[in-house]
Amino acid sequence: MQAFYASPVPVVIYVTPAGANAGSAGCFLTLAADVAAMAPNTSIGAAHPVELGSVGNNERPDGIMTKKLENFAVSYIEAIADKRGRNVEWARAAVRDSASITAERALDLRVIDLLARDLPDLLRQLDGRAAGEHRLHTAHATVERLDMLVRERVFHVLWRPEVMFVLMLVAIYGIVSELSNPGAIFPGVAGAIALVLALYMGTVLPVNVAGVALILLAVGLFAADLFAPTHGVLTVGGVIAFFLGSLMLFDPAPPAFRLPLLAIVPATVITALFFLFVAGAGLRAQRLPVKAGHETMLGQVVPALSPIGPDAGSVRIEGEQWNARSATPVAAGERVTVIGRRGLTLLVKPQTPEAP
């Protein structure tokens, strides 16, 4: 409002087209304008404050904070209406009682100044009208439209609970994928970026802490079931916790900030399948026997190229000749089993004869 008051040129607010509503903050803005105009079949009012910032901490709607916000909003809109010479009583009712009226009724009650069919009609009625210390000359005015910036459009589309929910899923999938498949890089980077964006959105959207806690518990149960032989018991618990946490994530909150079941159910199923198959496959791959490196030589049975004792000897393994040592003397040509390695020397023992 300070920008309106400090503006060197008069500010005109025009509520249009038919069916539009100047509600909530729009009511404050319309009353604060130098000239308030509306198109026929529009409405104004319903400016009672809504506690978007505190609905997630389980504060009751009739709590102290609600009363403080209501009293502040009432005094604020009274000051605005009084400054512009508009109906203070109705302005108070718009906040206190969520009163809402049509454009025609608003004109009768001195809530607005003009009723205009369209923009040309508005400019015609504004021409020659006094607005504070200025007199308007709009008969031949050039109209320039200021569209939203690209970043404003992006935030306008993305600033929704569904988007935050998807970002949380991407963060979970990406980070867990990186942990189960170290070195993949991309999943970890994507997950970290999604986590930062989700946390940033969580500072504005009405997030319920209990819902977030249940989702984190679900992730912990999913991860634990990958390592613990529980035969899927922890995964079942994780699915239940994830579903309940998703239901509570934006509850209690206004309907516009709640997640629909159409988003929660598929997300729950996909998350359960992800941990059962994708993350599980990555961890199982890490547990496979080593297929390269010196570990592959352990347990192999090879011939002795020369007599092998505690101090000298050699064997041929995988096409290479290696020094070998054995606590039990081995004759040249006998077969030995590799049991270890010390630097460039293999530790061997005589092959155990197979039982008849």
Are 101 and 90 in contact by the 8 Å Cβ rule? The answer is yes
Encode pLDDT of 139-197 as tens digits: 888 888 888 888 777 777 777 778 888 888 888 888 777 776 777 788 888 888 888 88
Q: Nearest to residue 45, comparing CAs of 21, 62, 61? A: 21
* Whether residue 36 has pLDDT greater than 90: yes
User: What b/e string do you get for 98-127 counting C-beta neighbours within 10 Å, with b at 16 or more?
Assistant: ebbbebeebbeeebbbbbbeeeeebbebbe
Encode pLDDT of 65-77 as tens digits: 778 888 999 999 9
Residue 350: enclosing H or E segment and its boundaries?
Answer: strand 345-350
| pLDDT value, residue 252 | 57
Encode pLDDT of 44-53 as tens digits: 999 988 654 4
Residue range 109-114: mean pLDDT, rounded: 96
Q: In what order do the strands lie in the sheet with 114-115?
A: 12-15, 35-38, 114-115
Burial of 56 per CB tally in 10 Å (0-12, 13-18, 19+): buried
| pLDDT value, residue 255 | 58
Of 12-16, 24-28, 228-232, 234-238, give the lowest mean pLDDT range.
Answer: 228-232
Apex 242 CA angle, 236 and 246, nearest 5: 150
Q: Which two tokens stand for residue 189?
A: 């980077």
Q: Is the peptide bond before 17 cis (omega within 30 degrees of 0)?
A: yes
Residue range 288-315: mean pLDDT, rounded: 78
Encode pLDDT of 310-321 as tens digits: 888 999 887 788
Q: Nearest to residue 173, comparing CAs of 260, 278, 80? A: 278
Q: Which domains does the chain have, with CATH numbers?
A: 2-135 (3.90.226.10), 150-286 (no CATH), 294-350 (2.40.50.140)
| pLDDT category of residue 60 using cuts at 50, 70 and 90 | very low
Highest mean pLDDT among 127-136, 258-267, 344-353: 127-136
Whole-number Å distance between alpha carbons of 76 and 79: 5
